[in-house]
């Protein structure tokens, strides 16, 4: 499901397209003029905008330029009359994703839209990937707790000791893991990330340890595992609490001996890797609940670094904001804009359940939406204004209830799971898991 905007001054065409794409499960908005489209675009983000070329007042090409200014990531598809190839060429030059010539069948336009949505998905993935790689993180702090943590992390980086990173989602565990690698003597060797949540147990096992040809159906050739790929460098196991008990046993041996066999293989492979693991769940509680092996927990918990939630280091918000605005404006090709004092106040008073990631998403969005010289409260998402904790009841509320309530509120305000996850500053898989755990439909 995606959000689409359809712009055409001819009512029947517009209605046909709206009905058709709604039936395909998309969320469709419509506009009868360029001006109306722009006003809708200032409130909503769309994966794709389909616009007629010839319209009274503002034509499709002019609208295209305006859309690109508001949201550089939106993909624009132009619908042009047959025989006006010059228009189409001009549109492609101005950054249109594609064009279709009228008359077209619904199947034809659907094919173009499907391709655009696939492109947009890949583009988004690349963006996330690039962000995590190019990011220059904030490595100093005004918060005493964070200062101590950074100091310990720097010292620990020099040793080969296993490090356990804990902290709420979005507090910067991935960022810090990569930084520790950069600080260490292993910096010129690989930094390999394995996320234990996203893969099935079988896939994860072969991802970690590799496999030999014929080890299972589909294993058509030998495969090097990530632990082997990290030889000489650092391996970062993210969301370690999601490792199954069977894999925990196998991983424990690796932690103890730095050796393992590929799935289906009998040759023992010896490597030299630094291990960092992270979890946003309380591992000690997982051990108590017998979901996590205690011997593995003790092996991993040599140096434990707990990243404080953003609400416990509010003094870092100005520096983080500055850093994020600087890189976000470059990335989105927008002028560098300061926060208005009103926006600053809103940001200071919010409790940031999604931590630094949420702050970053809010600012990134604001940079793209802001029309003036500075970012004003209107450029910030609504969630920031409704962040007061629920009214006090006689029984003190459990943290879990607050979390559940907040998630439900954001879900209700979002059109897709991805959008809700972005607002919450967690990744969609995490949101999906939380939804299941809290039994939210």
The answer to the question of residue 234 lying near Mg ion (CB under 5 A) is no
Residues in CB range of 50: below 8 A, 6 or more apart: 4, 5, 6, 7, 17, 76, 77, 79, 109, 113
Residue 269 preceded by cis peptide, ω within 30: no
Q: Does residue number 120 form part of the binding site for Mg ion (CB under 5 A)? A: no
Q: Residue 4: what are its φ and ψ, rounded to 5°?
A: -120, 145
- Which residues in the 116-145 window bind ligand ATP by CB under 6 A? 131-132, 135, 137-138
Residue 321 interacting with Mg ion (CB under 5 A): no
Q: How many CB atoms lie within 10 A of CB 140?
A: 9
Total interface residues for ligand ATP by CB under 6 A: 22
- What's the N-to-C CA distance of the chain in angstroms? 17
172 makes contact with ligand ATP (CB under 6 A): yes
Q: Which does 123 bind (CB under 5 to 8 A by kind): Mg ion, ligand ATP, none?
A: none
175 touches ligand ATP (CB under 6 A): yes
How far is it, in rounded angstroms, from Cα 316 to Cα 188? Answer: 30
**Residue number, nearest CB to Mg ion:** 174
369 contacts 335 by C-beta, under 8 angstroms: no
Question: Is residue 424 close enough to count as binding ligand ATP by CB under 6 A?
Answer: no
**Phi then psi for 330, rounded to 5 degrees?**
-65, -50
Q: Which residues of 204-226 are buried (b: 16+ CB within 10 A; e: fewer)?
A: bbbbbbbbbeebeeebeeebebb
Residue 175 Cβ vs Mg ion, minimum distance, rounded to whole Å: 8
**Of the two residues 173 and 226, which places its CB atom closer to Mg ion in the complex?**
173
**In 79-108, which positions are buried (b, 16+ CB within 10 angstroms) versus exposed (e)?**
bbeeeeeebbebbeeeebbbbbbeeeeeee
Note whether 167 binds ligand ATP by CB under 6 A.
Answer: yes
Minimum distance between the CB of residue 280 and Mg ion, rounded to whole angstroms? 7
Residue 169 as a binder of ligand ATP (CB under 6 A): the answer is yes
Closest approach of ligand ATP to the CB of residue 322, in Å: 10
Exactly one of 80, 87, 166, 171 binds ligand ATP (CB under 6 A); that residue is 171
Q: Radius of gyration (Cα) for the chain, nearest Å?
A: 25
Considering beta carbons, is residue 96 or 196 the nearer one to Mg ion?
196
174 binds ligand ATP (CB under 6 A): yes
Residue (198 or 414) nearer to ligand ATP, CB: 198
Under rule CB under 5 A, which residues in 171-200 are in contact with Mg ion?
A: 173-174
**195 scored as a contact of ligand ATP (CB under 6 A):** no
Q: Residue 87 interacts with Mg ion (CB under 5 A)?
A: no
Q: Under a CB-based contact definition with an 8 Å cutoff, are residues 180 and 275 in contact? A: no
Q: Which segment (151-159, 170-178, 306-314, 341-349) binds Mg ion by CB under 5 A?
A: 170-178
Interface positions with ligand ATP (CB under 6 A): 131-132, 135, 137-138, 167, 169-175, 280, 320, 323, 356-357, 360, 426-427, 430
Interface positions with Mg ion (CB under 5 A): 173-174
């Amino acid at each position: 499901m995606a959000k689409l905007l359809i712009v055409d001054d001819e009512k029947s065409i517009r209605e046909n397209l709206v009905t058709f794409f709604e039936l395909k499960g998309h969320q469709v908005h419509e506009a009868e003029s360029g001006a109306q489209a722009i006003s809708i675009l200032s409130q909503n983000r769309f994966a794709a905008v389909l616009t007629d070329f010839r319209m009274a007042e503002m034509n499709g090409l002019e609208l295209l330029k305006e859309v690109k200014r508001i949201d550089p990531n939106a993909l624009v598809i132009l619908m042009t009359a047959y025989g006006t190839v010059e228009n189409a060429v001009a549109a492609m030059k101005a950054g249109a994703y594609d064009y279709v010539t009228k008359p077209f069948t619904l199947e034809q336009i659907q094919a173009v839209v499907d391709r655009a949505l696939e492109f947009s998905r890949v583009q988004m993935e690349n963006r996330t990937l690039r962000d995590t790689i190019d990011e220059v993180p904030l490595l100093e702090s005004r918060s005493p707790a964070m200062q101590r943590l950074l100091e310990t992390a720097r010292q620990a980086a020099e040793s080969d000791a296993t490090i356990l990173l804990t902290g709420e989602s979005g507090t910067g565990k991935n960022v810090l893991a990569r930084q520790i690698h950069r600080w260490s003597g292993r910096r010129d060797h690989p930094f390999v990330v394995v996320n234990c949540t996203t893969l099935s147990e079988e896939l994860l096992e072969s991802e970690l340890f590799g496999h030999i040809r014929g080890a299972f159906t589909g294993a058509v050739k030998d495969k090097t595992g990530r632990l082997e790929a990290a030889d000489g460098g650092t391996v970062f196991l993210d969301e370690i609490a999601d490792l199954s008990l069977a894999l925990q046993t196998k991983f424990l041996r690796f932690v103890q001996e730095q050796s393992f066999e590929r799935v289906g293989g009998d040759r023992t492979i010896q490597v030299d890797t630094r291990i960092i693991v992270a979890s946003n769940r309380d591992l000690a509680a997982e051990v108590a609940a017998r979901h996590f092996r205690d011997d593995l927990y003790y092996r991993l918990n040599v140096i434990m670094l707990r990243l404080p939630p953003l609400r416990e280091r509010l003094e870092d918000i100005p520096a983080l904001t500055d850093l994020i605005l600087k890189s976000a404006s470059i990335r989105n090709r927008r002028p560098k804009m300061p926060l208005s004092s009103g926006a600053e106040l809103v940001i200071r008073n919010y409790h940031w359940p999604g931590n630094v990631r949420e702050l970053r998403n809010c600012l990134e969005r604001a940079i793209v939406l802001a029309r003036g010289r500075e970012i004003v409260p209107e450029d910030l998402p609504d969630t920031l204004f409704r962040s007061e904790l629920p009214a006090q009841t006689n029984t003190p509320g459990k943290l879990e209830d607050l979390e559940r309530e907040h998630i439900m509120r954001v879900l209700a305000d979002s059109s897709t799971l991805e959008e809700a996850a972005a607002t919450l500053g967690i990744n969609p898989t995490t949101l999906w898991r939380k939804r299941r755990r809290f039994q939210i439909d």
